[in-house]
A and B are shown apart, each in its own frame.
Chain A
């Protein structure tokens, strides 16, 4: 089991080390993830219901649905 895990680990590490054209793609992915999660998620997309308890969420949504015109 341990040998299998080590073999899988080495497979990934060697794969990443020997990347040629794939390297710049990983930079693109990294840049995208940073923009998505550290910028957009943190500053622009705060879930409206975040921080509310379950009951508060239910009250909030039911008020929205009952009173929405």
Chain B
């Protein structure tokens, strides 16, 4: 039996690495748009002020990019070492998007990134502007492939399991790429990056206002960043809405956990905080129909019948079918060389039950319930902070247009102190997405306890603490370089 500690440490290590990686990615995505807009204004107006403004944000973009670069590679190390069962089992499904991402990222970034930083005065204004936009677009394209891979784990499509190679093989590339979960996740993640970049740029600019320096630069930057941030936040809300519908359809347990919904039904209530509910709102969010049926945790464990008569199996029934699938897989492997008829029969049973394969590793139905408290509160932190930041950006933009921001030090402080909040909101979002799908690595097909390698707990613990030390070191280096660059300022006025 695999040790619980091994599963927990492997899970914790991956979560920590992914969380660290996501500190850098959203700022890259968001600042890319902000600096590209600023450079566009420069090219259109010919005003050198905008060139210097764009160059300053490019500098912060470059620092963030340099320190964040390759942090994602550690995740791939972890796949090979800590999650070898998973890595093999997913086959090319996971490898293909990641390979495309690696190649695209390398060529787009090596080309356009270099033109953006080295090309001032050497290439035409318009070519330089194109390179700046393409740097941002390249970062977003990289995100597509990572999110396609992640979304496949949330809602596996476009593949078939081959028991001879023990791998899932891609049979429909476009089903994988056009996975509805991937589409909403892509927009949700990229636009949350716009929010991060905007809140960061507004906060840094407000620091200059508090210091009574670089006033024109700060106010101009805030104007651009606030518009990007507000547009981004509304896009996050729309993509979050479609994401909720997909979660309700493909990962109902995640939705039930995020709502702390024990017993579902029609006109399901949305919980604002424990004890304060709004009737029917969860049904609207999950199904776009106030009378929509939303199953709760107990419904999903016990089995239920939907209002249109569809009978959904209980956890026990799924576990039984999962065990049948694993047994048939073992039988197929044992007979495939010696007894073709027996192997064919086993293969038939396996194919009939493959959708429940992962349930065969589950010992009790309660294992299928993710950590409800964590997911419930993470969701509220994400939504609550998102709403608060939207309000802040609207107030800041209003104050800029009314020419009052320079005298509103409380608002400048609020904007400055909001920088960590946008990161907390982003991390909370990923906690909802990833902790909410536990115990699964691949929904329904492979739980974490079957995905981890048979390595020692001590090895995983050691690397966990090595990572914490290294990541902390790099974070300190980044913050130091970043704060020095900010203190030095854009050197405009």
Would you call B117 and A46 a contact (CB within 8 A)?
A: no
- Majority SS of interface residues in chain B? helix
Would you call A28 and B477 a contact (CB within 8 A)?
A: yes
* Given A25-B66, A46-B81, A48-B81, A65-B114 contact (CB < 8 Å): no
Would you call A15 and B114 a contact (CB within 8 A)?
A: yes
Would you call B80 and A45 a contact (CB within 8 A)?
A: yes
B166 at the interface (CB under 8 A from A): yes
Report chain A residues within 8 Å CB of B87: 49
Shortest B2–chain A CB gap in Å is 6
Q: In residues 36-52 of chain A, which contact B (Cβ within 8 Å)?
A: 36, 40-41, 44-50
Q: How far, in whole Å, are A47 and B59 apart by their CA atoms in the complex?
A: 37
Report chain B residues within 8 Å CB of A57: 88
Partner of A65, one of B59, B85, B119, B459: B85
Shortest B427–chain A CB gap in Å is 22
* A interface footprint on B452-481 (CB within 8 Å = 1, 0 otherwise): 011100010011001000100010011001
Report chain A residues within 8 Å CB of B74: 36, 40
Would you call B62 and A64 a contact (CB within 8 A)?
A: no
B485 at the interface (CB under 8 A from A): yes
Would you call B80 and A48 a contact (CB within 8 A)?
A: yes
Listed residue (B67, B74, B84, B454) with the most chain A CB atoms within 10 angstroms of its CB? B84
Across the two chains, which residue of chain A brings its CB closest to B85? A64
Q: How far, in whole Å, are A66 and B454 apart by their CA atoms in the complex?
A: 14
B77 at the interface (CB under 8 A from A): yes
B1 at the interface (CB under 8 A from A): yes
Would you call A44 and B466 a contact (CB within 8 A)?
A: yes
* Given A48-B455, A58-B166, A33-B114 contact (CB < 8 Å): no
Q: In residues 11-26 of chain B, which contact A (Cβ within 8 Å)?
A: none
Would you call B81 and A68 a contact (CB within 8 A)?
A: no
User: Which of A's residues lie within 8 Å of B, judged by CB?
Assistant: 11-12, 14-16, 18, 21-22, 24-26, 28-29, 32-33, 35-36, 40-41, 44-50, 57-58, 61-62, 64-66, 68-69
